[in-house]
Amino acid sequence: MNVKNKTASAEILSHPPFQGKLFINGEWVNAEDGASLERYSPAHNKLVATYAQAGVADAEKAIAAARQAFDKGPWPRMLGAERAEVLRKVADGILAKKHEIALLETLENGKPLEQSLAEIEGAADLWHYAATLARNLHGDSYNTLGQDTLGVVLRDPIGVVSMITPWNFPFLIASQKLPFALAAGCTAVVKPAEVTSGTTVMLGDILLDAGMPAGVVNILVGRGRVIGEVMVNHQDVDMLSFTGSTEVGKKAVAKSAETLKKVSMELGGKNPQIIFDDCDWDAAVDASVFGIYFNAGQCCNSGSRILVHESIADKFVAEVVERSKQVKVGDPLVPGVQVGAITTDKQLETILSHIEGARKDGANIVLGGSRIDGEGMYIEPTIVTGVTPDMDIAKEEVFGPVLSVLTFKDLDEAIELANSTLFGLSAAVWSQDFSTCITAARRINAGTVWVNTFLEGHAELPFGGYRESGIGRELGRASVEEYTETKTLHMHLGKRTNWYVPKD
């Protein structure tokens, strides 16, 4: 494994750290109490960014700005075509700065630069897609309620939306939420994870250049336990859109219930790839490797379980192990590196703890299992066999480059294993038999089921999970509707008969 090439990143790391402020009511401001925070690159342990750190007072100002912009400002009252034009300009602005944005994402997150660039380009596509929906959001009408009645159903923007995004895909996930809320006419307060705030902060200038009115989007950098509490609880926030762990998501839902906010939750996963004995062998092996090591396994959609038919299990796993040995781990600024650093020290400890727990439970660590020595936070690609459904490694989200292998004897057992966790985000089925694929896909409890492919995505297709993987859906043509309230206009035509009839 190629772990380091310091020459490739030395010049980049010699540049001054990125400087970020809070974006409130269309202006860049420091925190009211003067607080700041620093971000060190997980791949190089170098200071790469400093930020103004928002406190409660700053969060309240941002919410007040979003409230004013919604209640009094032009954005919710614009033509859909006018909002669409602004969203298209944002998309173009993202593409114009894609290399700059991608570099900062890699420095803060630790993922390979090539992957960051693809993520930013994909995010721009989401803004373009949301622009089309801004012109197509519509209600309904009923002309079948009698000659004296007409029913019209409207879709009103819900109002102020708090958006809390995670550190694994900071710019992409913000772009799965924000443009769709804006297309509906909402305003927003966005809080990226404090360890990967830079790319979302950079979005502020792009919004200004695109002509976004002041207060429509506000961006806060800060710690969840401080400003996240305000964003979840505040009476002037109408909706909470959260992406993160299931544990934190549950707490956020509970707190938001105090003000009965609408919630959208995109949470964890323990996603299976079911490998039948008639699979496209090379494609399934490649997808098993890609599915677990993409973004260092720090992906809610990660294919962290492969369920392999017992007749091919030994041979299939042996080939997955051999290909995993060829995966290039190292400096994310070096071209060709496939797996970069683990994003936070806390996550590094969590991953290693899961590996040790699997070992204690009697599973076999047949590849990797350790931290890579040297500068930066890297973990070896890891494969665990001898896994049984009752083990924690088979049920709990590791969020790292750790693949668990289970076996099955027939389709029914495969489905039972696939559905044996509390999650239901995604899955994949690998077979050349169409009937097998569709039967399995219909019986798996997951929001997305890939058939003979894995981890592909399109803006047109809804994304979200069953059970503890979340509430609601992002993307797709109905995504804008998530940020609306439904209003019924029940209209009577002509003279109405009085209910009260006076006595003679």
pLDDT in tens, 118-150: 999 999 999 999 999 999 999 999 999 999 999
Q: Which of 108, 119, 194, 266 is catalytic?
A: 266
* Local structure of residue 373 (DSSP, 8 states): P
Q: Which of 300, 319, 380, 474 is catalytic?
A: 300
pLDDT at 7: 59
C-alpha to C-alpha distance for 493 and 138, rounded to whole angstroms: 23
Q: Is 266 a catalytic residue?
A: yes
CATH number of the domain located at residue range(s) 6-266+474-488 in this protein: 3.40.605.10
Alpha helices in 14-166 (DSSP H): 56-71, 80-96, 98-109, 113-134
Q: Is 100 a catalytic residue?
A: no
Q: Are 426 and 403 in contact (CB under 8 A)?
A: no
Q: What are the tokens at 363?
A: 């599973």
Q: What are the tokens at 322?
A: 């051999």
Helix (H) or strand (E) holding 142: strand 140-142
Query: Packing angle between helix 113-134 and helix 170-184, nearest 10 degrees?
Result: 10
Rounded to two decimals, the pTM is 0.95
Q: What are the tokens at 104?
A: 């900062």
Q: Is the dihedral of CA 266, 272, 273, 276 positive or negative?
A: negative
**CATH 3.40.309.10 intervals, the chain:** 272-451
Q: Is the pLDDT of residue 218 over 80?
A: yes
C-alpha to C-alpha distance for 338 and 498, rounded to whole angstroms: 74
**Cα–Cα separations (whole angstroms), residue 37 to 55, 91, 101, 198, 199:** 12, 29, 20, 12, 16
pLDDT at 90: 98
**CATH 3.40.605.10 intervals, the chain:** 6-266+474-488
| Strand, helix or coil for residue 258 | helix
Q: Are 124 and 91 in contact (CB under 8 A)?
A: yes
pLDDT in tens, 420-471: 999 999 999 999 999 999 999 999 999 999 999 999 999 999 999 999 999 9
CATH number of the domain located at residue range(s) 272-451 in this protein: 3.40.309.10
CA geometry: angle 19, 25, 30, nearest 5 deg: 35
Q: Are 81 and 14 in contact (CB under 8 A)?
A: no
How does residue 14 score in pLDDT terms, banded at 50, 70 and 90? confident
